[in-house]
C-alpha cells in the first residue's frame, strides 16, 4: 500500500488508486466505526467516477466495524450533513471538494451533522495505523445501487433548505449558477428556479470526469464571463461538493468569502442577530475585512486555516457567523456546517429584499463594502513541506519582509494539509512591494523545504 493519506484541514484526501486506494478506505471505514462505536451513518458522494468504488469500500469497512450505514447516492456534502441532522445520525461524504477529478477523499461528521473534532480524527488515525500494522484483512462487498434512499435524502435536503430560507422570493433576478460539474448540478438550479429566479446554470455535467475542471469556486473565469454576457444580476460558483460558494457581481467582479462575511455581518447586526457582535475568520482573511468590521463595532476573531477551526472557535465564543475567504461560510443561526447553496440563497434573499425597495440597486453596490488590502497568494511544490513550520530562517525572512512592508502587513506561510506544497500569502498596501516580498520568500522556502 502506498503512503496513506491523513486527516488534513478538511477530511482525508488523496489521488484515487494511488494514495487513496479502496483497501485503505475500507480500513478507514473500519476505524471510523470502531472509534465512533454504536453509531448509524449515512454515506453520500459527489459526482467523481471513483465514488461508487470508494462507497463500496467505505460502507464495507463501516459494516465490518459493527456500524449501520445507508448509501444516499450523489448529493452535496451539506446535503449529507443535513440528512445526518434531520435523522440524528452520523455521516461520511466521499468527496475531494475542489480538487481535480483524479482525487477523492472522505469527510466525517458526527451525530447531527457536525464535523468530528481533532481528537476523534487523531483516534481514527491511530486505529488505522494499528489495523495496517496488524495486517487486517480487507473484505470489500458491492453495495446495491440506491434508489428510494437517494430520492428521500434529496427531498430531505431540499425541505431543509426551504425551511432555513423561509421560502425567499427571488423573482425579478437573473442569476448564473456554476455547479462545477459536481454535486450541486440538480439541486441548485432547481431551488433557485422554484424561488422565482431566472436561472442560467453552467457546468452541470454529472459524469464526474470534469468536476472542478476550469470551473466552479476555484476557477471563476467562465462564470465571470457568463454573468457579464448574460447581463445577469449576480452569479454563484460552487465547488465540487458545494460546501463553499464564491459570488460574482453584475460587473463580473469576484466577491470572495470575506465579502460574504461582511455582508452577513452587517445584515445580522442590523437584525440584532449577530450574537456578541463578533465574527470568526481564518488568518487568510483580508485585512480590509477586519478594518470594515472594526469600523462597524464588530470584533473579528482569527483562527488557523480550516473550517473545523472556525467552527470550534464559533462554538467556544458562541458566535453566529464565521467562515473562510475561500467561501466556506457558517451561519450558526441556520446550520453548524458550511453550505454553498444555502449561503447563495441567503445572499440572494438579502439582495432581493433591497432590490424590491431600490429597483436600480446592483450586486456591485451591494458588495461595495470595503477596499481590500493587496493580498498575493502563491504555492510552491516541495519535498519537505513540514520544514516550513517554525523554521528559524523562514521566521527571520518573515520578520524582515514585514519590516519592509509596514505595520499593517501580514505574511502567512503554511504547509498544505493535503498536498506537497507550501502556501504563501503576502498582504500589504502596495502591490509592487508585496510582489517583491513574495519573490524573496519563495526563494527562502524553496531552499529550506527542497
Per-residue pLDDT of the chain (450 residues; tens, 9 = 90+): 457 888 988 899 999 999 999 999 999 999 999 999 989 999 999 999 999 999 999 999 999 999 999 999 999 999 999 999 999 999 999 999 999 999 999 999 999 999 999 999 999 999 999 999 999 999 999 998 778 999 999 999 999 999 999 878 999 999 999 999 999 999 999 999 999 999 999 999 999 999 999 999 999 999 999 999 999 999 999 999 999 999 999 999 999 999 999 999 999 999 999 999 999 999 889 999 999 999 999 999 999 888 889 999 999 999 999 999 999 999 999 999 999 999 999 999 999 999 999 999 999 999 999 999 998 989 999 888 888 888 899 999 999 999 998 878 889 888 887 678 999 999 988 999 999 999 999 999 999 888
- What pLDDT, on the 0 to 100 scale, is given for residue 1? 42
Rg, Å, the chain Cα set? 22
Rounded Cα distance between 383 and 302, Å, is: 29
3-state secondary structure of 379: strand
Cα angle 324, 164, 46 (rounded to 5 degrees) comes to: 60
State the catalytic residues: 97
Burial class of residue 348, CB neighbours in 10 A (0-12, 13-18, 19+):
buried
| Most distant CA atoms of the chain, gap in Å | 67
- What pLDDT, on the 0 to 100 scale, is given for residue 418? 67
Q: pLDDT (tens digit, 9 = 90+) per residue, 187-244? A: 999 999 999 999 999 999 999 999 999 999 999 999 999 999 999 999 999 999 999 9
- What pLDDT, on the 0 to 100 scale, is given for residue 268? 98
Rounded Cα distance between 76 and 245, Å, is: 12
Cross-sheet strand order for the sheet of 421-428: 374-381, 421-428, 410-415
CA-wise closest residue to 253 among 212, 286, 225 = 225
Torsion from C-alpha of 290, 295, 296, 299, nearest 10 degrees: 40
Can you count the helices (H) and strands (E) in the chain? 14, 18
- What pLDDT, on the 0 to 100 scale, is given for residue 116? 94
Rounded Cα distance between 329 and 310, Å, is: 9
- What pLDDT, on the 0 to 100 scale, is given for residue 266? 98
Amino acid at each position: 500500500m502506498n503512503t496513506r493519506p491523513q486527516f488534513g484541514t478538511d477530511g482525508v484526501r488523496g489521488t484515487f488508486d494511488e494514495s487513496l486506494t479502496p483497501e485503505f478506505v475500507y480500513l478507514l471505514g473500519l476505524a471510523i466505526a470502531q472509534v465512533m462505536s454504536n453509531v448509524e451513518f449515512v454515506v453520500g458522494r459527489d459526482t467523481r467516477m471513483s465514488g461508487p468504488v470508494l462507497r463500496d469500500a467505505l460502507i464495507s469497512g463501516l459494516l465490518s466495524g459493527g456500524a449501520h450505514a445507508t448509501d444516499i447516492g450523489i448529493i452535496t456534502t451539506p446535503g449529507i450533513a443535513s440528512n445526518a441532522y434531520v435523522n440524528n445520525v452520523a455521516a461520511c461524504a466521499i468527496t475531494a471538494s475542489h480538487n481535480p477529478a483524479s482525487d477523492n477523499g472522505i469527510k466525517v461528521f458526527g451525530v447531527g451533522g457536525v464535523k468530528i473534532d481533532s481528537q476523534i480524527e487523531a483516534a481514527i488515525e491511530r486505529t488505522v495505523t494499528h489495523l495496517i500494522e496488524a495486517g487486517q484483512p480487507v473484505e470489500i462487498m458491492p453495495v446495491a445501487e440506491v434508489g428510494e434512499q437517494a430520492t428521500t435524502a434529496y427531498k430531505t435536503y431540499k425541505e431543509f433548505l426551504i425551511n432555513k430560507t423561509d421560502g425567499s422570493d427571488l423573482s425579478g433576478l437573473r442569476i448564473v449558477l456554476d455547479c462545477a460539474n459536481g454535486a450541486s448540478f440538480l439541486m441548485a438550479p432547481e431551488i433557485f428556479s422554484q424561488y422565482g429566479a431566472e436561472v442560467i446554470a453552467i457546468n452541470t455535467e454529472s459524469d464526474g470526469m470534469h468536476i472542478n475542471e476550469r470551473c466552479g469556486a476555484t476557477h471563476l473565469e467562465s462564470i465571470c464571463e457568463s454573468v457579464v454576457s448574460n447581463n445577469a444580476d449576480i452569479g454563484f460558483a460552487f465547488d465540487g461538493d458545494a460546501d463553499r460558494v464564491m459570488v460574482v457581481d453584475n460587473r463580473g467582479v469576484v466577491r470572495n468569502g470575506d465579502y460574504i462575511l461582511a455582508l452577513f455581518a452587517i445584515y445580522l447586526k442590523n437584525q440584532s442577530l449577530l450574537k456578541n457582535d463578533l465574527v470568526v475568520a481564518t488568518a487568510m482573511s483580508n485585512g480590509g475585512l477586519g478594518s470594515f468590521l472594526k469600523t462597524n463595532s464588530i470584533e473579528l476573531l482569527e483562527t488557523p486555516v480550516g473550517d473545523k477551526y472556525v467552527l470550534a472557535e464559533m462554538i467556544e465564543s458562541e458566535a453566529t457567523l464565521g467562515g473562510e475567504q475561500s467561501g466556506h461560510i457558517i451561519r450558526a443561526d441556520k446550520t453548524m456546517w458550511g453550505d454553498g447553496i444555502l449561503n447563495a440563497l441567503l445572499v440572494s434573499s438579502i439582495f432581493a429584499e433591497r432590490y424590491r425597495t431600490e429597483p436600480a440597486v446592483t450586486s456591485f453596490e451591494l458588495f461595495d463594502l470595503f477596499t481590500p488590502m493587496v493580498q498575493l497568494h502563491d504555492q510552491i511544490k516541495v519535498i519537505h513541506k513540514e520544514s516550513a513550520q517554525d523554521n528559524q530562517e523562514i521566521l527571520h525572512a518573515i520578520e524582515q519582509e514585514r519590516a519592509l512592508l509596514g505595520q499593517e502587513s501580514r505574511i502567512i506561510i503554511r504547509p498544505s494539509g493535503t498536498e506537497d506544497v507550501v502556501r504563501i500569502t503576502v498582504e500589504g498596501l502596495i502591490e509592487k512591494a508585496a510582489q517583491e516580498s513574495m519573490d524573496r520568500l519563495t526563494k527562502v522556502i524553496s531552499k529550506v523545504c527542497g
